Amino acid sequence: MRILATLTAGLLTVSSGSFLTAAPALPPAPKTTEAPAPAGAVPRLLALRPGADGKVRVQVLRTEQKGVNVVIGGGGGAPRQQTINVTVRAEVELGDVKDLTITTAGGKTVSKEDAIKRLAAGGVVAVSGDGKPVDPGYLALFKDNLLVLTSPELVTTLAKSSVGFTAVGGVAMPAPAIAPAPILLPAQAVPAPILLPAQAVPVPVAPAKEAPAPMKDK
């Protein structure tokens, strides 16, 4: 009995110890957070180089007044000149771009003078695609010192009726001159003529002449 009690106590002790031994704690799973997708238009890269006069120029879209031939009616009338507003491409110096903001991809503001100096030997810049500040999510793809140009005039969308310049390798080249097509305006309503009732006009009648009396034979 004494030996059995000793063995039973030992088993209880080992069994109790096995239940008291805790497994090692696992580290918590890391939280994964996805970065929000960039908003706004995707910027475009543009290679700029100075011209023969040492000045850096870019293409802009501007609204100008142009004279066009206008035809009244369905095309049967003679055309006449009329002034309308059209959007055209133009090549201007970088410092003459309207509402131009220049920053770096890292967020530092750069003056026009400093940007022109940095581009004196040519270089690549990022241009806003919609004329608004570029989303930082896009800028994170570039080096911090990359110049970023933002202006409504630098938006590349061109109206169908516009003529002027086309882009060739980031340098503006004059496009062939195209005469604007005549614009047909709707015909103006012309009142129909009013027909008045015909008035009776008396017809002149010559007075009847009496016939000479017949002559009697002698």
From first to last of its 218 residues, the chain has per-residue pLDDT tens of 554 455 455 544 444 444 445 566 777 777 766 778 889 999 999 999 999 999 999 999 888 887 777 766 655 667 778 888 888 889 999 999 999 999 999 999 999 999 999 999 999 999 999 999 999 999 999 999 999 999 999 997 543 333 333 333 333 334 344 445 555 555 555 566 666 666 666 666 666 666 666 666 55
Look-up of token digits 């008396």: 202
Helix (H, G, I), strand (E, B) or coil at 137: helix
Cβ neighbours for 120, distance < 8 A, ≥ 6 positions apart: 50, 54, 56
| Count of other CB atoms within 10 angstroms of residue 80 | 11
The reported pTM is 0.54
Give the model's pLDDT for residue 178: 44
List the structure tokens of 211.
Answer: 């016939």
Rounding to the nearest 10 degrees, give the CA dihedral for residues 53, 58, 61, 62: -40
The residues with which 93 forms a beta bridge, in sequence order, are 57
Q: Spell out a b/e string for 99-118, using b for 16 or more CB atoms within 10 Å of the CB, else e.
A: ebbbbbbeeeebeeeebbeb
Cβ neighbours for 78, distance < 8 A, ≥ 6 positions apart: 71
Instruction: Indicate the domain borders of the chain.
Output: 38-175
Could you tell me the CA-to-CA distances from 203 to 147, 200, 207 in Å, in that order? 97, 9, 13
